[in-house]
């Protein structure tokens, strides 16, 4: 898993799982990354572990998609330090929207300190139900507060399949 790659137990190329039906390769994660977050905090240069681990894969792929936890912990910082672009998904709910300024501030710090090539592609509103006034209000507020600073993509509508997944 990614845990074994990050801590030098296996090479990234050896941990990749090919999903033929989807025509994608995955570097799977697991619950062990919860312990990995603590190890990263104690590791010298810990915020660069993922970038270093993915380096050998850059020549093999046109795109590498990094899915990070919905928090600003060490794994998210690692993902941002390794990335070239960041897309910020956010549920169209008020509490979820409140974290965006802090995330953008964190991205700015990482750009200055670790990854000057990191670019914010935009914000992707998700789990949007246009029938709910709160969802419409949040979408309007995202446009009003952040629309001049960053691109706000059209929302991904809520579907029952999301809940079932």
Q: List CB contacts of 142: < 8 A, sequence separation 6 or more.
A: 90, 92, 97, 100, 123, 125, 152
Q: Note the pTM of the prediction, 2 decimals.
A: 0.83
Query: What local confidence, expressed as pLDDT, does residue 27 receive?
Result: 94
Provide the pLDDT for residue 162: 63
pLDDT in tens, the chain (165 residues): 999 999 988 999 999 999 999 889 999 988 888 888 888 888 888 889 999 999 999 999 999 999 988 888 889 999 999 999 999 999 999 888 888 988 999 999 999 999 999 999 999 999 999 999 999 999 999 999 998 989 999 999 988 776 666
Alpha-carbon gap, residue 36 to 47, rounded angstroms? 12
The pLDDT of residue 14 is: 94
Predicted confidence at residue 72, as pLDDT, reads 83
């Amino acid at each position: 898993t990614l845990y074994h790659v990050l801590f030098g137990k296996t090479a990234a190329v050896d941990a990749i799982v090919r999903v033929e039906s989807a025509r994608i390769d995955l570097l799977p994660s697991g619950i062990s990354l919860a312990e990995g977050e603590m190890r990263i905090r104690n590791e010298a240069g810990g915020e660069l572990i993922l970038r270093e681990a993915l380096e050998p894969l850059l020549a093999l792929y046109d795109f590498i998609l990094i899915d990070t936890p919905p928090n600003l912990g060490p794994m998210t910082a690692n993902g941002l330090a390794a990335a070239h672009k960041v897309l910020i998904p956010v549920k169209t709910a008020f509490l979820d929207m409140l974290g965006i300024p802090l995330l953008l501030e964190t991205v700015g710090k990482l750009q200055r300190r670790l990854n000057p090539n990191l670019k914010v592609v935009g914000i992707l509103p998700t789990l949007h139900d246009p029938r709910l006034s709160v969802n419409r209000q949040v979408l309007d507020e995202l446009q009003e507060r952040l629309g001049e600073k960053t691109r706000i993509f059209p929302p991904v509508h809520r579907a029952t399949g999301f809940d079932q997944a």
